[in-house]
């Protein structure tokens, strides 16, 4: 398994492309937008420059990593003769089903299809294909070059052979593969998102302010980042999407998203990506501080 295609050049997609290319894999980075591809490659280059400045890699390492990444705006060309495809598109069920249906038609019979979804059912995604035994969840954490965990999610029909291959692959990337079963939110977000939602509820009901809530969790529970700041970093739209998946999947009111979160997303206050969320990133150094906290 030496040739990988990544679908989506956003934050997660370019991070996944980075770690594969740095380990010597040939990577096809695919996106419908050339602008997104250019931005993704620029992000990888900037992260490599940070690593170079810290003497973590050499100049030749940087050059070889970037040379290992080819970009495509045409899906069929981008997935030609690859061993593994990792979908890292927007967290939208209908979009992912359309992508996997098309991947199944155009890629080789032996190609494994993985998704970086953070909450959507692997079994459901696999149902759009004729190879459910070769469909698996490969949930990387952000920022991908730094975070060691890969949450590997088995769908109902995912084979042992596929699971073993993906576990080995994750280890080859110097990641820690952790296999979980296919239930809404899996493990990471089934635990994390209710905590973030409860922090938003605490703010919504006036128990404490943003800074106070985050300070309690950072200093009292030894979290490196408070839940509201973390929500901004993840993206409030992404948090809302995951909570909706949890709520629809379990029909349990404890997963219902806080009205404040819904209103903020509706108003376009999405966190770092939009310049404002629970914190104001447009008029402060906080966005830079957050980025540097997780710099490669």
Q: Which residue numbers are catalytic?
A: 118, 139, 151, 189
Those residues with Cβ within 8 angstroms of residue 34's Cβ, 6 or more apart along the chain or in another chain: 71, 73
- Residue 108, annotated ligand binder? no
- Residue 91, annotated ligand binder? yes
- Residue 157, annotated ligand binder? no
Between helices 188-204 and 227-234, what is the axis angle to 10°?
Answer: 120
- Residue 8, annotated ligand binder? yes
- Residue 220, annotated ligand binder? no
Beta bridge partners of 154: 136, 181
Greatest distance between any 2 Cα atoms in the chain: 56
| Distance (Å) of CA 247 to CA 235, 240, 250, 261 | 18, 10, 5, 14
| Distance (Å) of CA 226 to CA 120, 161, 170, 290 | 25, 39, 28, 11
Any idea what the Cα angle at residue 99 is, between residues 96 and 102, rounded to 5°?
150
- Residue 83, annotated ligand binder? no
**Which residue shows structure tokens 């109902």?**
156
- Residue 43, annotated ligand binder? no
- Residue 10, annotated ligand binder? yes
Q: What share of the chain is helix, strand, coil (3-state, %, to 5)?
A: 50, 15, 35
Those residues with Cβ within 8 angstroms of residue 82's Cβ, 6 or more apart along the chain or in another chain: 3, 4, 5, 28, 107, 108, 111
Cβ-contact 7, 99 below 8 angstroms? yes
- Residue 249, annotated ligand binder? no
Cα separation, 142 vs 150, in Å, equals 10
- Residue 17, annotated ligand binder? no
Residues that constitute the known binding site for NAD(+)? 8-13, 31, 91, 96, 118, 142, 273
Residues that constitute the known binding site? 8-13, 31, 91, 96, 118, 142, 273
């Amino acid at each position: 398994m030496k040739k990988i295609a990544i679908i989506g050049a956003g934050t997660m997609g370019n991070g996944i492309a980075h770690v594969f290319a740095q380990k010597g894999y040939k990577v096809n980075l695919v996106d419908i937008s050339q602008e997104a591809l250019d931005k993704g490659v620029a992000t990888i280059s900037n992260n490599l420059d940070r690593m170079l400045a810290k003497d973590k890699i050499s100049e030749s390492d940087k050059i070889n990593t970037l040379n290992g990444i080819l970009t495509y705006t045409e899906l069929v060309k981008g997935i030609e003769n690859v061993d593994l495809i990792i979908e890292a598109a927007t967290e939208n069920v209908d979009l992912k089903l359309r992508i996997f249906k098309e991947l199944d038609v155009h890629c080789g019979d032996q190609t494994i299809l993985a998704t970086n979804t953070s909450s959507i059912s692997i079994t459901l995604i696999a149902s759009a294909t004729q190879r459910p035994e070769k469909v698996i969840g490969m949930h990387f954490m952000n920022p991908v070059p730094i975070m060691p965990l890969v949450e590997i999610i088995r769908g109902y029909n995912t084979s042992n052979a596929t699971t073993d291959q993906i576990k080995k692959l994750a280890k080859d990337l110097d990641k820690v593969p952790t296999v979980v079963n296919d239930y809404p939110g899996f493990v990471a977000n089934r635990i994390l998102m209710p905590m973030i939602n409860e922090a938003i509820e605490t703010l919504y009901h006036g128990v404490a302010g943003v800074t106070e809530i985050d300070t309690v969790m950072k200093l009292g529970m030894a979290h490196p980042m408070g839940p509201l700041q973390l929500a901004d970093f993840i993206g409030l739209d992404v948090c809302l999407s995951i909570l909706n998946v949890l709520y629809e999947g379990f029909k349990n009111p404890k997963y219902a998203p806080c009205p404040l979160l819904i209103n903020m997303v509706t108003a376009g206050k999405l966190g770092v990506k939009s310049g404002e969320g629970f914190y104001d990133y447009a008029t402060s150094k906080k966005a830079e501080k957050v980025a540097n906290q997780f710099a490669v």
